[in-house]
Amino acid sequence: MRFAHDPKEKITFAYSSDSVWEVHVVDEERNVWEKYLQKDQFDMALKYAKGPIQQDKVLIKRAEFHFDKGQYTLAARNYAKTTKSFEEVTLKLLGTEQEDALRTYLQEKLANLPRRGHSIQSTLICTWLVELYLDKLNSLDAEKADQHSKEQKDFLLEEFYQLLEDYKDNLDISSTFQLMSSHGRMDDLLHFAKLTKDYEKLLTFHIQRYEWQEALSVLKSHVQTTPQLCYKYAPILIVHYPYETVSLIMQFPELDPAKLIPALIRYENTHKEQLRNYRQNVSQQDEHQGIRYLNHVVSKWGNKDPAVHNYLLSLYVRCDDNNALISFLKQTDTYYDLQFALRLCTERNKVKHLFIYFQKCNHMKRQ
């Protein structure tokens, strides 16, 4: 059988000694991709591959080609685009002890995952990536520092922070904090806490490092939206940074003074000498901060809560300066409990000061 082609009519014929056939070429390129694949010409094979099945075969072959040549990072990028089993590929890459290649595979795999419907897999991959980054950063810190290693570390850290920002919603916050803490990466932990707006972690972090001013800055930024943070962390801040802590809470009249009394009690227990030597007309820095705050609440904000007034009275009774107690008792409006006041004054031998209160009442009645 022979072939003949009519270039003018663009017709091809097949003929024998007794027959002639008109040949119609259909899908001439259907197997071309396989020919290129056999020659390891992967780009051309992908060009002619039709449909995901053929493309997957080309990518797997290309990944194995690079893997066999020790080009593990290139292999990882190609494996990530295939349907090859995740477990099979990760075990294969783990066997090479090339963490950079494994990290590349996980990043590519994560990027190719749909954002919906794969939350568990995304969380697992993200957490694994976090650990790989932490290991790599610590190993770079342990190496002898030079310009190249510094640039490498800066690039890796930028890449790591981008991962945290892009996938913060996919990460389990508690596990991520635990990982960073176990690797001693406190600055990274702080960065992640800011990203996730975990202000409790931020406050705890600063307090553990005795960074009182930084802790107060975090508290100040979020006390209006989350006042419970103030009630929780004021007790420790007021002990170590009393004047600044009280200055902060005095800026927010929406805070409930009664809920801050536990913090004031803790402050009082650690500053008993300051309370005993309390004097009026001293600088705010030297003033007893519990009295300073409660006096502000009562006199400036007009607080009428008996618990607040009772506690302020108890502070004045314990002071050596009786003038402070007398000034408080002389106030026109009285919201403290008289029996409570009598008991306190009796215990401190200051019953005579209560006569001021009775005199005031009798004077008001006569008017």
Q: Per the domain annotation, does 260 fall within a domain?
A: yes
The answer to whether residue 97 is domain-embedded is no
Starting at the edge strand that comes first in sequence, how are the strands of the sheet with 11-15 ordered?
Answer: 2-6, 11-15, 20-23
Structure confidence at residue 307 (pLDDT): 94
188 domain residue, yes or no: no
d(CA 144, CA 336): 68
**Is residue 199 one of the residues assigned to a domain?**
no
Where are the strands (E) in the chain, listed by range? 2-6, 11-15, 20-23
CB 204 within 8 A of CB 232: no
In a domain, 187, yes or no: no
Output the pLDDT for position 269. 87
**What is residue 305's predicted lDDT score, i.e. its pLDDT?**
94
In angstroms, rounded to a whole number, what is the distance separating the alpha carbons of residues 125 and 149?
A: 27
**Under DSSP, is residue 27 helix (H, G, I), strand (E, B) or coil?**
coil
Tokens of 337: 């409990």
Asked if residues 284 and 292 have their Cβ atoms less than 8 Å apart, the reply is yes
Give dist(CA 328, CA 321) in Å, integer. 12
Q: How many residues does the chain have?
A: 367
Q: Which amino acid is at 64?
A: E
Tell me the C-alpha distance between 184 and 189, whole Å. Answer: 9
pLDDT of residue 131: 94
Structure confidence at residue 218 (pLDDT)? 87
Report pTM. 0.64
Residue 97 is encoded by which pair of tokens?
A: 């002890």
Is residue 40 in some structural domain? Answer: no
For residue 330, the enclosing domain spans 256-366
Per-block mean pLDDT, blocks of 10 residues, the chain (367 long): 76 80 63 78 80 86 91 92 91 91 93 74 92 91 72 90 91 88 85 87 86 90 87 94 94 94 92 70 74 92 93 89 81 80 84 64 46
The reply to whether 290 falls in a domain is yes
Looking at residue 366, what is its pLDDT?
A: 45
CA 271 to chain CA centroid, Å, is 35
In-domain check, residue 347: yes
How far is it, in rounded angstroms, from Cα 136 to Cα 177?
17
Q: Give the count of domains, the chain.
A: 1
